[in-house]
Structure 1
Amino acid sequence: MNARLAAGDTVLTAASMLRRAEAAQVYDVAQQTALEPAALVSARLGSTVLLKREDQQPVFSFKLRGAYNRMAQLGAIERTRGVVTASAGNHAQGVALAASRLGILATVVMPVTAPQVKVDAVRRFGGDFTRIVLFGESYSDAQAEAQRLCDERGASFVHPFDDADVIAGQATIALEILAQHPGPLHAVFVPIGGGGLAAGVAAVVKARRPQVRVIGVQAHDADAMARAFEAGVRVTLDEVGLFADGTAVKQVGALTFPLCRQYLDDVLRVDTDAICAAIRDIYQDTRSIPEPSGALALAGLKQYVSAHGAVDGALVAVISGANMNFDRLRFVAERAEIGEQREAVFAVTIPEQRGSFRRFCAALGQHSITEFNYRIGDAQAAHIFVGVQTAQREEREALAAAFRANGFDVLDLTGDELAKLHLRHMIGGRSPLARDECLYRFDFPERPGALARFLERMRPDWNISLFHYRNHGADYGRILVGIQVPPSEHALLRQFLATLAYPYVDESDNPAYRLLLRT
């Protein structure tokens, strides 16, 4: 799909983009969004952090600005032929709402991987004026199908980023930021997919206040702009990660690349854990939940401050969208602690003998345990998967050293994607060593040291054959424990359980346990 220059332009510059942005027709449907202080993040970073709340738009994304500005320029004949677009979701919603407001028929091609919340929103905003076509696994696949439909129907294509009118619509965000914060401003951070938002914001900021830095941020597995910067030409990625689906673009635009190359000061890459941590930061400061792409800018801002230290002047992060699939929240919550370096994950090997658990807990010191997985499997050594709450990277290294000082082999899994995604949930199975096993679920008050005290109360002559615990941020912790107790000592076991004063459920006869874990 060819890039489209606005009428009267031969080359896009900061000056021409500023004129286009000042004349853009966006406020028939879009609104000027708030520029809010992020008090908690600011205090932690030692810098003034402001959030540009594009998640407050009617379609919960900035994309409405560019879509409407482009469609408002269509002539009468073009409007009768309708429009076609390709989008992972947010641009599609902008086109749908613009179509219904302007009375233009729109066909929206979305990849089959688009979140359902975005597909449903396109239907809701577009009503009778919008038809949805699900095609391909990425934006690039959807774009190819959209091109075919345009050629077939003679319709106008509304590009999500490589169009001068679309870029100008997105650039109105920069006009608002500069008007809302006329004081000292160090940098503006913007997410990058195809580059429309970054190109527009960078051009306008440099035209108005050239001393202000503009920094683009990409997911590490969808970094087409960063790679283009490094290569000096546009590149096409073979694959893109889909966690930050709103910016999952294989190739940046022919118009956006030269603008970004000329006016962006840098492009940063951030990983999934950093994005999840930024989502949590935004929630804690605003009580709103951005989508992964919507949190990219803040993730990059935090990385920038970590590298450069506190700066003079405000730092602005554009929160570009909030079309979050609800079923992603569990994953986000689980990974946010690691992304903030507040959780370290280890595989620790301890001797399979009495007192080992207590020595292990002593090595932990005052650190709170966030996760504990263990299943007996070897007569000589116990392999434990443990998550520990930390405040900084140095604590992680100190913990590993403490484990080794106690004679425990340790493997730091904090950066291991396989362990974090899969293996932490797969520790278990049947074990021939788990004879006379009784299985219990316990609830206990979630306070520092509670898990360690629970372990200390266990009788030393009863072996723990299974243990699972995960901190879920609630007032009560929940653990699953397998205890090897001879039948002749079951009465003593009941006495022990009574002394704990923790609510518990005997799961020894649970059919799922018997099927999957019991020998």
Structure 2
Amino acid sequence: MSDFPDPLRKAADHVEAARAATREIRALFDPTPLLRNDHLSQRLGADIWLKREDLSPVRSYKIRGAFNAMRKLRKRDPAQRHFVCASAGNHAQGVAYACRHFGVSGTIFMPVTTPQQKIVKTRTFGGDSVKIRLVGDYFDQSLAAAQEFCAREGAHFLAPFDDDDVIEGQASVAVELLEQLGRAPDMVVLPVGGGGLAAGVLRYMRAAAPETAFRYVEPAGGASLSAALAAGEPVTLRSVDSFVDGAAVARIGARPFAVLSGVDPAHVLLAPENRICGTILELLNLEGIVLEPAGALSVDALPELAGQIEGKTVVCITSGGNFDFERLPEVKERAMRFSGLKKYLVLRLPQRPGALRDFLDILGPDDDIARFEYLKKSARNFGSVLIGIETLDAAAFPGLFARLDAAGYTYQDITEDDTLAGFLI
């Protein structure tokens, strides 16, 4: 890792370093595909291309930065043969793959709560080169244990994004997409978590394709770049929604922010977590593309950019495809709630024969009961019921609510009430 910052380093040096990293990466895998997407292009009236980092050997771009950082450190210090990281996801898998490639030892710290699927995949990529240690219930606890281990054992800690060599490795995405497209795109849409990918791509393309515009997309529940731009420096978010686990970062890296600090805040878009779920389902059902929540960020923002990209060539970086299909029911649920096709009500229902049938008669022809659960009797002759209703058209709900009001029902729509929904749904 080079000293930080280094304002005197020329743009040409960054370009050559990124190209050199790209050449070295060919020892691991061929360039990930850059594919034109007809569905999105027709829908948005633009020329939409997807840079498919979800099709790398570890199904994310993280292998690039991990490989490059490990390669360069071993060149500087051949005696270093032990690398450590803390991660519950894509960075862990990239580090594991690189350790096996270089024949060095890796120790990967993961929270005890890490899904078994991710543990198995990391172990598979690393083979005998990697040991996995499950420490702590939360990532911060795993991180502290990893850093303590490094200090004690003399191992090298591989940061997931706040590292110059990692950023340089992620820039290989930009090297490939320019070579594959054969021209500079009008716009590149980048997902942002810790900022390593965005910084690497931006820094390279500022020099190699200065006419290209950029838009940056981060999860609404983890908007660390927006917070840093507002404050003029990286700040730690008070809370983070962990659903978009590949990009839900409480604090953007200092090194990435040194590159991104001049970004126009108006060019940073926030993607609601539930809306991202609809994008995941759309790409899965219509295109057969499997993306994790972070991997869908750039595509999710396209409708917001519709007025800016018509007739233009746009490249979206689909940054990862490590989607656990056990999450699919939750993704469907969130997507339906965002689109207005599903509502949850707490309904005060009379405790008498025929009361439920009377309620059912109020439903429209396309309304379906997806959940029905008695919560408690709120009075001698009434009970509270949690009821989930799905419909084919969101416009049906105002009519349903009008009929409930006319019939004298007492109810509360808790669909968007995070506190009540967290307890009841």
User: Is TM more than 0.5 here?
Assistant: yes
The question of 1:19 aligning with 2:16 is answered yes
Q: Is the 8 A contact 1:105 1:130 kept in 2?
A: yes
- Secondary structure of 2:25's counterpart equals coil
Instruction: Measure the CA separation in 2 of the matches of 1:235 and 1:35.
Output: 34
Match of 2:189 in 1: 189
Match of 1:208 in 2: 208
Instruction: Measure the CA separation in 1 of the matches of 2:104 and 2:326.
Output: 34
Q: What does residue range 132-147 of structure 1 map to in structure 2 within 5 Å?
A: 132-147=132-147
Instruction: Measure the CA separation in 2 of the matches of 1:91 and 1:70.
Output: 12
| Cα drift, residue 255 of structure 1 | 0.6
| Cα drift, residue 256 of structure 1 | 0.4
Instruction: Measure the CA separation in 2 of the matches of 1:198 and 1:142.
Output: 25
Matched letter for residue 105 of structure 1: S
- Secondary structure of 1:245's counterpart equals coil
Distance 1:48 1:360, change over 3 A: farther
TM-score, structure 1 normalization: 0.70
Instruction: Measure the CA separation in 2 of the matches of 1:195 and 1:421.
Output: 30
Match of 1:331 in 2: 330
Larger Rg: 1
- The more displaced of 200-209 and 224-233 is 200-209
Q: What does residue range 22-61 of structure 1 map to in structure 2 within 5 Å?
A: 22-24=19-21, 25-61=24-60
- Secondary structure of 2:133's counterpart equals strand
Q: What does residue range 368-407 of structure 1 map to in structure 2 within 5 Å?
A: 368-369=367-368, 371-373=370-372, 375=374, 379=381, 383=385, 385-391=387-393, 396-397=397-398, 399-401=400-402, 403-404=404-405
- Secondary structure of 1:160's counterpart equals coil
Distance 1:177 1:368, change over 3 A: farther
Instruction: Measure the CA separation in 2 of the matches of 1:115 and 1:357.
Output: 41
| Cα drift, residue 246 of structure 1 | 2.1
Distance 1:17 1:401, change over 3 A: farther
Matched letter for residue 335 of structure 2: A
Distance 1:103 1:310, change over 3 A: closer
Instruction: Measure the CA separation in 2 of the matches of 1:184 and 1:282.
Output: 25
Instruction: Measure the CA separation in 1 of the matches of 2:182 and 2:341.
Output: 35
Distance 1:231 1:8, change over 3 A: closer
The question of 1:271 aligning with 2:272 is answered yes
Instruction: Measure the CA separation in 2 of the matches of 1:176 and 1:44.
Output: 26
Q: What does residue range 50-449 of structure 1 map to in structure 2 within 5 Å?
A: 50-73=49-72, 74-75=74-75, 77-182=77-182, 185-263=185-263, 266-305=267-306, 308=307, 311-347=310-346, 356-357=358-359, 359-361=361-363, 364=364, 366-369=365-368, 371-373=370-372, 375=374, 379=381, 383=385, 385-391=387-393, 396-397=397-398, 399-401=400-402, 403-404=404-405, 408-409=409-410, 411-418=412-419, 420-424=421-425
Instruction: Measure the CA separation in 2 of the matches of 1:151 and 1:384.
Output: 53
- Secondary structure of 1:84's counterpart equals strand
- Render the CA deviation track for 1:281-308: whole Å, top value 9, x for unaligned: 2212432432222222223334444xx5
Q: Which runs of 5+ in 2 are unaligned?
A: none
Matched letter for residue 54 of structure 1: E
Distance 1:103 1:11, change over 3 A: farther
Instruction: Measure the CA separation in 1 of the matches of 2:403 and 2:44.
Output: 29
Distance 1:190 1:370, change over 3 A: farther
Sequence identity of aligned pairs in percent?
33
- Render the CA deviation track for 1:413-472: whole Å, top value 9, x for unaligned: 332334555524xxxxxxxxxxxxxxxxxxxxxxxxxxxxxxxxxxxxxxxxxxxxxxxx
- Secondary structure of 2:170's counterpart equals helix
Distance 1:316 1:420, change over 3 A: farther
Q: Which runs of 5+ in 1 are unaligned?
A: 425-519
Instruction: Measure the CA separation in 2 of the matches of 1:402 and 1:46.
Output: 41
- Secondary structure of 1:30's counterpart equals coil
Q: Is the 8 A contact 2:344 2:386 kept in 1?
A: no
- Secondary structure of 1:262's counterpart equals coil
Q: Which has the higher contact order (CA 8 A, sep 6+)?
A: 2
| Cα drift, residue 200 of structure 1 | 0.9
- Render the CA deviation track for 1:34-57: whole Å, top value 9, x for unaligned: 223444444555544432211111
Matched letter for residue 317 of structure 1: C
Distance 1:120 1:374, change over 3 A: closer
Q: Is the 8 A contact 1:36 1:50 kept in 2?
A: yes
- Secondary structure of 2:269's counterpart equals strand
| Cα drift, residue 238 of structure 1 | 4.1
Distance 1:403 1:97, change over 3 A: same
- The more displaced of 47-56 and 367-376 is 367-376
Distance 1:388 1:183, change over 3 A: farther
Matched letter for residue 32 of structure 1: P
Distance 1:207 1:344, change over 3 A: farther
Q: Is the 8 A contact 1:138 1:249 kept in 2?
A: no
Distance 1:137 1:193, change over 3 A: farther
- Secondary structure of 2:69's counterpart equals helix
Q: Is the 8 A contact 1:88 1:114 kept in 2?
A: yes
Instruction: Measure the CA separation in 2 of the matches of 1:154 and 1:54.
Output: 33
Q: Is the 8 A contact 2:111 2:138 kept in 1?
A: yes
Matched letter for residue 269 of structure 1: L
TM-score, structure 2 normalization: 0.84
- Secondary structure of 2:311's counterpart equals coil
